[in-house]
Structure 1
Amino acid sequence: MSERDLLMIPGPVEFDPEVLRALGAKTASHVAPEFISTFGRALKRLREVCLAPSAQPFVVAGSGTLAMELAVANLVEPGERALVVNTGYFSDRMATLFERYGAEVVQVRCAPGEVPDVAEVERVLAGGRFKVMTATHVDTSTGVLAPVEALVKAAGRHGVLSVVDGVCATAGETFHQEAWGADVYLTASQKALGVPPGLALLTVSPRALDAWRSRRTPVRSLYADFGEWLPIMEAYEAGRAAYFATPAVNLVCALEVSLGQILREGMEARFARHRRVAHAFRAAWRALGLRMLPVSESVAAHTLSALYYPEGVDAALLGRVREQGVVLAGGLHPQLKARYFRVGHMNVVGPGEVLATVGAVERALAAAGHRAEPGAAVAAVQAELLAAR
């Protein structure tokens, strides 16, 4: 990939230059006063971005999978029951994590591209004696947007802790953690939060922390134990240094910058911008005759598109698009991996990136022999963007 290629995969994404300058700055000591202040602001801002004023933020060096493991390791003990609302590849991973920590796992599944019925989930919750329920807000493998508000509220009605995997959603899809009653919202830095890979992030409700404090057995993982990280987070937010493991200093500095940008844009404005961008892409896909993996637009994410290759076209399309200066991602879901591709559209993506990407896809499809009216997709984007002004 050249420096001029446009990165349009569902993470890592294109990053704002100010964020990259923070990442590339001279590394400070993790106990330096200026870094203590920066880390403290980042924690406060994460709470604001997740709309969770009472939650405890955690910022830990690691991937989104570590964020998932932090939630699982601290909230379940061997023999307790966990319900996984399964919408794809990363729901499968969550189920695997629960099993590794000794939980009894029940799953409510659906076909790829669909979302489970909330009424069915509630029926399972009602008869289950579950400790925790998890749902993936946007499954990066399928581009499906789960009805997390309804799911979280259903869990709350049955006294079940709710964990929402927001790795491909946080700061891109509408989510009101405290108002909806979600106990844990977990994410990673490299998607709509707009920071290069390397940070696992969570906002944890007081109820979830109480459940952790009431454990009968120690957390099996040292690195994932809230007990090791909570004093660190509390100290930095209070303006004091503390040590368990060295923080990712430059990534935390980049996070503080990005979160500040997100809050200046405003959460509702940012959610709306991601919806506008997604609608513009969908207009293009319709013009090109491409079918989305999600079964309807009502369950399609606004942070990425998952699209079946048209008849006669295969994964060689991705190479043709790259020749046009745009990088896309192949399929990930094991059942469908060779049949579809994915386009990420989150963080700083705006009209210019949409038009460049759609133009590249249109030209690559034409080179692959796919028949569509020349220029129709770009025109559809322009019409959608103008109508949304």
Structure 2
Amino acid sequence: MAALVRCPSLLYRPLRFFASMSRKFVQDPHKLLLIPGPIEVADEVLYANAHPSMSHMSPDFASAFGDCIRMTRDILYSKDAQPFLIAGSGTFGWDQVSANLVEPDEDVLVLNCGYFAEGFADCLHAYGAKVDQLTAVIGGTVKLSDIEAALKRKKYKLITVTHVDTSTAVLSNIKVVAELVRRVSPDTLIVLDAVCSVASEEIQMDAWGIDVVLTASQKGLGTPPGLSIVVVSQMALKVFENRSTPVRTYYASWKKWLPIMKAYERNAAAYFATPPVNLIYAYRASLTQITRGPVSLQDRFEAHKDTSRRFKKFAESLGFKSVPLTEDVSANGMTALYFPDGIIASDIVPSLLKKDVVVAGGIHSAIKDKYFRVGHMGVTAVNPERGDMDKISDALAETLKEAKASKL
């Protein structure tokens, strides 16, 4: 890349310029990014993101977009769910669900395990839904008995579950929750906010009866930010198609986007709004690694579990404590840790940054200053030869030792 800086004209040469270089394309040195998203991105993915500018109506791009739609479905073990790949953040998925599936004054049940469930509830309110929340204790999940009682009291249009709440690193057992909903209230749509879990936690969309999975490109899917990814079951699409009131959005309307997605899956271009062309190429590169690479999907999930267990155990040996109350509700793609007694955020986070390791502070309002968060998704978990976890482990141990010494 230094060559590009010295000679800007090289920016306009075809990608074969890079392919002809004697060394493999690699990223410039940078601070190790270990937040819960964006995450570290593979060299090949950034290389794909440097694709020459392309028309979004060209056959080549249509083929790339179609590949992305098909492989997105594969990651969720679905045969016929409909992916929507639209420029936007993960938060935009909330708007799509709220605008397209919920009509004014319909009842929605939100399972609240942290900051992001609260955000989803706010979005549903904005589109006129009547929202009830079941709130878990910090570090825990909502009790199944409470969910069952709520579903028996009232008929809900949909229920939302945050698979991994990024504010607490709490993992909800969506398989068990979905089984309960299907038994007690089979017409209630099950919506999974999986922004921080797709490709790092197993999701069997068809087998478990999940109606909507919403996520984003920058976490376990290992692509730069900017792509909102929502996958919708055929049952949910029928609910959308049979709604009795107009969709109260323009850009997020599936009436606009569904023909576009179907066209691209046929490798035929169509237009409503310009897609993020280069990001689609990057996304295809990452999906290809995930679905067709040397590591199977199941082995990928196991690699995340192993990385998670090892790091959590190491951190606890230093005196940190996990925010999730038990191991079975602990996410595998990230870790949230309470500071040891006498240690505060300013003792840890800035010091790690000076050691070229970037972690995230707390965002849950009730415990914001008491903990911090580490992401270990994608290549960080699957490619241990990178040494990402060794680097943060060494840096964390050294930082804690320095912090304790400064307080003597």
TM-score band, normalised by the shorter chain?
over 0.9
Q: Identity over aligned residues, as a percent?
A: 42
Q: How many residues align?
A: 370
Deviates more, 1:235-244 or 1:278-287: 278-287
* Residue 242, structure 1, aligned to residue 270, structure 2: yes
Paired position in structure 2 for 1:284: 314
Paired position in structure 2 for 1:44: 70
List gaps (5 residues or longer) in structure 1: 372-389
Q: Distance in 1 between matches of 2:104 and 2:392?
A: 47
Q: Distance in 2 between matches of 1:246 and 1:172?
A: 29
Provide the TM-score with structure 2 as the length reference: 0.89
* Residue 305, structure 1, aligned to residue 335, structure 2: yes
Paired position in structure 2 for 1:325: 356
The answer as to whether partners of 1:191 and 1:346 remain within 8 angstroms in 2 is yes
Paired position in structure 2 for 1:367: 402
Question: 1:43-63: per-residue Cα shift (whole Å, max 9, x none)?
Answer: 000000111111001100000
Superposition deviation, residue 152 in structure 1 = 1.6
Q: Distance in 2 between matches of 1:153 and 1:298?
A: 18
- Written as runs of structure 1 = structure 2, the 5 A alignment for 1:101-180 is 101-157=127-183, 158-159=185-186, 160-180=188-208
The answer as to whether partners of 2:339 and 2:370 remain within 8 angstroms in 1 is yes
* Residue 228, structure 1, aligned to residue 256, structure 2: yes
Q: Distance in 2 between matches of 1:119 and 1:267?
A: 32
- Give me the CA root mean square deviation: 1.2
Amino acid at match of 2:168: T
The answer as to whether partners of 2:171 and 2:331 remain within 8 angstroms in 1 is yes
Superposition deviation, residue 292 in structure 1 = 0.7
Q: Distance in 1 between matches of 2:77 and 2:138?
A: 30
* Residue 96, structure 1, aligned to residue 84, structure 2: no
After the TM superposition, list the runs of 4 or more consecutive aligned residues in structure 1 that deviate by more than 2 angstroms: none
Superposition deviation, residue 155 in structure 1 = 2.0
* Residue 77, structure 1, aligned to residue 103, structure 2: yes
Q: Distance in 2 between matches of 1:196 and 1:154?
A: 36
The 3 A distance-change label for structure 1 pair 370 and 210 is farther
Provide the TM-score with structure 1 as the length reference: 0.93
Q: Distance in 2 between matches of 1:153 and 1:62?
A: 31
Question: 1:308-343: per-residue Cα shift (whole Å, max 9, x none)?
Answer: 111111111111111112111000111111110000
The answer as to whether partners of 2:51 and 2:281 remain within 8 angstroms in 1 is no
Amino acid at match of 1:368: A
The answer as to whether partners of 1:52 and 1:203 remain within 8 angstroms in 2 is no
| Aligned partner of 2:365 among 325, 334, 354 | 334
Q: Distance in 1 between matches of 2:296 and 2:363?
A: 32
Q: Distance in 2 between matches of 1:266 and 1:49?
A: 11
Larger-gyration structure (1/2):
2
The answer as to whether partners of 1:312 and 1:370 remain within 8 angstroms in 2 is no
The answer as to whether partners of 1:193 and 1:258 remain within 8 angstroms in 2 is yes
- Written as runs of structure 1 = structure 2, the 5 A alignment for 1:190-229 is 190-229=218-257
Superposition deviation, residue 17 in structure 1 = 0.5
